[in-house]
Chains A and B, each alone.
Chain A
Amino acid sequence: MSCQCFIIPEDVLERFAKDKSLSEAQRKSFADAAQFERKWRKLRATYGKVSAAANTMLASRAQTAAPPTITVYNCNHGTTLPGIPVPYPGDATAKRAFVETKAVADFYQKLFGRNSVDNAGKTLMSSIHFSVNYNNAFWNGTQMTYGDGDGNIFVDFTRSDDVIGHELTHGVTQFSAQLAYSNEAGGLNESISDVFGSMFRQWRAKQSVDKADWLIGKDIMGPGAIAKGYRCLRDMADPAAKHCLSQQPTHYSQYKNGMDPHYSSGIPNLAFCKAAKAIGGNSWEKAGKVWYSALTGFAPQPNMKMKTFANRTRTLAKSMFSKDPAVFTAINNAWIAVGL
């Protein structure tokens, strides 16, 4: 059977937006989608012109700018974003969204000198209680959104702080390397979110690389999933493990174009975990700093290959830790172990 998969192009969105036979809510939804995609592409093109040097200047300016405002909205089980504003602290879900989003902002500020996802203090907006029994959390290019889970496979998606770190890191990537969401760049994009999501979780728990479990989404697993032996979405230390809901490849030789980013991310995830473990101590002190510079210290490269990212980290490990050659050795060996 032939499959001509496509997503809705902008002209179709615009046609629906003007279609009087659709409800007003449907027309608005299509109009918003078309306008958003247009604005985002324009923004991306503008950002692409900002050189690495200009990024450095922006970074120094960001140090003095106010930290980001954190806002939370309640969708009340509807699907219209953002929903109704929630005054702090709100219910338990809202409080987690407020507290953990603030903690992610602190994580990026304190460890990497980054002021919000755009390094210019962008407000961090989250919507909670999205839809009914919704088994997902996502970044839509502007904000985070969290479902409550169905109570069987998943519980409330704000319960795993690495999930909150994962979604916000999609924002960081959007405003830095601008990695695409398909092929090798897509796998890197997903991996970067898992790497910084897990690193954030370890930092929150003050865990060294040996104490960390390297699991993604451990705290959103519901009773039905746990009863079947699933412990996480992904395991960065053992991406192919049977206890993962998403079992991933562990070596670049298994990679093929067209793979979903949530699958191919296992390869760079394992490389980061191996590198951080070989270096020892805390993941955010050395390996994390190298990964952050590889992501943010260059002009955007949307179609980056995994090998390019790997080689960036090799070069950076040498320059950033010139007096500590074990960092380069650990990172180099980790990439070699996954075939890169």
Chain B
Amino acid sequence: MPNEIDLLLVERIGGLAGFGVAGSRIRCRGQLAFNSLPDTDQRLVEALFKGHGKSKPSAQRDTFSYRISCARKFGAKTVEVPEAALPATIIACVKDELI
């Protein structure tokens, strides 16, 4: 089947307000078609899903991270990526909402 149904599911988590964590009343989610991304961003996402490094400690505090999955293209794997490492095209697809 064509790539048009390879949907990336994106969730913003963390931050000073603890988005999306247990007990949080703020949720921030979005989705976009993988093939709607520019080529370089598609390659970046593919590289993220191919990665298998162990995370090292970081000095960043209260920054957002993003959980990304794409079941059709990358199976059950979910990656968690710091905001500073994600292209704006992906960050732009999520919306903050109160629940």
Convert A138-154 into 0s and 1s, putting 1 for each residue whose CB lies closer than 8 angstroms to a CB of B.
11111000000010011
B57 touches A138 (CB 8 A): no
Contact count band on A: 35 or more
**A150 near B96 (CB under 8 angstroms)?**
yes
**CB-CB < 8 A to A6: which residues of B?**
51-55, 79-80
Q: How far is the CB of A182 from chain B (nearest CB, A)?
A: 9
Q: How far is the CA of A167 from the CA of B62 in the complex (A)?
A: 8
Bound complex: CA A10 to CA B56 (Å): 8
Check: A263 CB closer than 8 A to any chain B CB: yes
Contacting residue for A15 out of B16, B47, B59, B77, CB 8 A: B47
Chain A nearest CB from B44 CB (Å) reads: 7
Q: Are B85 and A262 in contact (CB under 8 A)?
A: no
Q: Are A5 and B79 in contact (CB under 8 A)?
A: yes
Interface residues of B in 51-87 (CB under 8 A from A): 51-65, 67, 76-82, 84-85, 87
Q: Which residues of B lie under 8 Å from residue A224 when comparing CB positions?
A: 98
Our pick among B23, B44, B65 for the contact of A22 (Cβ within 8 Å) is: B44
B11 to chain A, nearest CB (A): 11
Asked whether any CB of chain B lies closer than 8 Å to the CB of A33, the reply is: yes
CA–CA, A193 and B60, complex, Å:
14
Cross-chain contact A5 with B62 (CB below 8 angstroms): no
* CB proximity of A92 to chain B, nearest CB, Å: 20
Contact status B18-A262, CB under 8 Å: yes
Determine the chain B residues whose CB is within 8 A of the CB of A233 once the complex forms.
16-18
Tally of B interface residues using CB under 8 Å: 47
Inter-chain contact A137/B16, CB cutoff 8 Å? yes
User: Is the beta-carbon distance between A246 and B51 smaller than 8 angstroms?
Assistant: no
Which A residues, 38 to 81, have Cβ-Cβ distances below 8 Å to chain B?
40-41, 44, 79
Taking the complex as formed, is A189 at the interface, i.e. its CB lies under 8 A from any CB of chain B? yes
- Interface flags for B5-26 (1: CB within 8 Å of A; 0: not) read 0000000011111100111111
Bound CA span A167–B60, Å? 11
Whether B22 lies near A259 (C-beta < 8 A) is yes
Residues of A within 8 A of B40 (CB): 21-23, 26
Determine whether the beta carbon of A139 is less than 8 Å from that of B25: no
Q: How far is the CA of A21 from the CA of B82 in the complex (A)?
A: 21
User: A230 and B98: CB pair below 8 A?
Assistant: yes
What distance in Å separates the Cβ of A273 from its nearest Cβ neighbour in chain B? 18
Interface flag for B88 (CB, 8 Å): yes
Q: A7 to chain B: which residues have CB within 8 Å?
A: 55, 58, 65, 80-82, 85
Whole-angstrom distance between the alpha carbons of A16 and B40 in the complex?
A: 10
Complex partner residue of A40 from B25, B59, B62, CB under 8 angstroms? B59
A263-B20 Cα distance, complex, nearest whole Å: 11
A153–B26 touching, CB < 8 Å: yes
Measured CA separation A183–B17 after assembly (Å): 18
Q: A180 near B: Cβ within 8 Å?
A: yes
Q: Which residue of A lies closest to B23 (CB)?
A: A247
CB contact under 8 A between A136 and B26, given known A4-B77, A21-B43: no
Q: Would you give the shortest CB distance from B77 to chain A, in whole angstroms?
A: 5
Q: Mark B residues whose CB is within 8 Å of A.
A: 13-18, 21-26, 39-40, 43-44, 47-48, 51-65, 67, 76-82, 84-85, 87-88, 96, 98
Show 6 A/B contacts (Cβ-Cβ < 8 Å), sorted by A.
Answer: A33-B85, A37-B59, A135-B15, A137-B16, A138-B64, A217-B16
Interface residues of A (CB under 8 A from B): 1-13, 15-16, 21-23, 26, 29-30, 33, 36-37, 40-41, 44, 79, 135-142, 150, 153-154, 157, 163, 166-167, 170, 174, 180-181, 189, 193, 217, 224-225, 228, 230, 233, 240, 244-249, 259-260, 262-263, 302
